[in-house]
Amino acid sequence: MKIATLADWFGVGVIEGIKESERCGAEGVQLYAWNELNPFNITPDKISEIKMLSIDCNQKVTALCGELAEMNPGGHGLEESDKNPPLIDYLKRVLDLAKKFDCDVVTTHIGIIPEDKTGPVYKALQDACTELSEHAKNINAWLAIETGPEPITRLCEFIDNIPDGRIAVNYDPANLVMVTGDDEVKGVLTAGKRIVHTHAKDGIMKKYMGPDHIYGIFTEGGAEALASLGDYFAETPHGQGSVRWNEYLRALRDVGFDGYLTIEREVGKDAAADIRMAVGFLKEQLKSL
């Protein structure tokens, strides 16, 4: 396994974020497919600039992040079939853009997969992911759904029912311990080979609210709205939360995952400093495997 960062969370823009990722000792970087990397208006020159900089900084582009919340503010991922065509088009373009960076993975939040398989939300998600899976297969890429909005078992069952086999898992252990209350170690064993990318994040649950409520608030109000939920959960620096890192990493090793632990630090007074600390923390954890 290798360590990566999310360039945007250094707070200095994509170009400087890639440089910071190298400086702190990471081997890869995930990039947001928005702003400078908006697939609808990014230029060939910008693609070349970022690609060459990544090579010069010894940074593998581990994944692009498809930002549906930017495309449809206040929306609910791919849950509403009448609003899905432009969102699907966007994710297809992100998948195409990823390949230009020699990258095979796009991560995203699709919404909340409901328990009821007969309702319109489940069908909307299923139809959208079926179309996206076909496109991903055609270009040899993966669309990885991030863990958190539903139990791991439900997510895996949903993925297994999508044709072409190109919908996968972006595993975030902190989302599970903070929101769903899932066992982040057992969840790895359940997801297994479906995991193609991970976010390395830590946190604690203070009081259970339920993923439906929390992700509903997030989709309606964005990251700023999460500040109102401090009584329920908190993201923490790595090693200071509830994620059992040793057991978690051993589980990833046992299912054959050898990809990237991409550090995500969305809050904190100095996210960049926390990212640098997390690189050292994860290196020590990997040494003990």
pLDDT of 283: 98
Closest CA to 25 of 7, 4, 8, 9: 4
Reduced to 3 states (helix: H, G, I; strand: E, B; else coil), residue 223 is: helix
What pLDDT band is residue 161 in, cutting at 50, 70 and 90?
A: very high
Q: Is the pLDDT of residue 157 over 70?
A: yes
Give the Cα separation of 284 and 156 in Å (integer).
31
Give the Cα separation of 103 and 94 in Å (integer).
11
Contact 145, 162 (CB under 8 A): no
What pLDDT band is residue 265 in, cutting at 50, 70 and 90?
A: confident
The per-residue b/e assignment along 250-265, b for 16 or more CB within 10 angstroms, e otherwise, is ebbeeeebebbbbbbb
Range of the domain at 110: 2-287
For the chain, the average pLDDT equals 94
Pairing of strands 202-205, 233-236: antiparallel
pLDDT of 228: 80
User: How many Cα neighbours within 13 Å face the side chain of 15?
Assistant: 6
Closest CA to 279 of 53, 88, 22: 22
Give the Cα separation of 63 and 274 in Å (integer).
21
**What is the DSSP secondary structure assignment for residue 176, as one 8-state letter?**
I
Structural domains counted in the chain: 1
Q: What is the CATH number of the domain that holds 56?
A: 3.20.20.150
Give the Cα separation of 33 and 53 in Å (integer).
17
This prediction has a pTM of: 0.96
What pLDDT band is residue 70 in, cutting at 50, 70 and 90?
A: confident
Query: Which percentage of the chain shows pLDDT scores above 70?
Result: 99
Question: Mean pLDDT, to the nearest integer, of 178-198?
Answer: 97
Backbone angles phi, psi at 175, to 5 degrees: -60, -35
- Which segment of 11-25, 232-246, 262-276 scores lowest on mean pLDDT? 262-276
Question: Mean pLDDT, to the nearest integer, of 65-88?
Answer: 91
Closest CA to 286 of 239, 246, 242, 257: 246
What pLDDT band is residue 215 in, cutting at 50, 70 and 90?
A: confident
Give the Cα separation of 289 and 84 in Å (integer).
43
- Which segment of 64-78, 218-232, 275-289 scores lowest on mean pLDDT? 218-232
Give the Cα separation of 51 and 174 in Å (integer).
30
pLDDT of 73: 79
Give the Cα separation of 125 and 255 in Å (integer).
27
Q: Is the pLDDT of residue 260 over 90?
A: yes
Q: Is the pLDDT of residue 2 over 80?
A: yes
Q: What residue has token string 């997030």?
A: 218
Give the Cα separation of 224 and 228 in Å (integer).
8
Give the Cα separation of 104 and 71 in Å (integer).
22
Pairing of strands 202-205, 167-171: unpaired
pLDDT of 223: 66
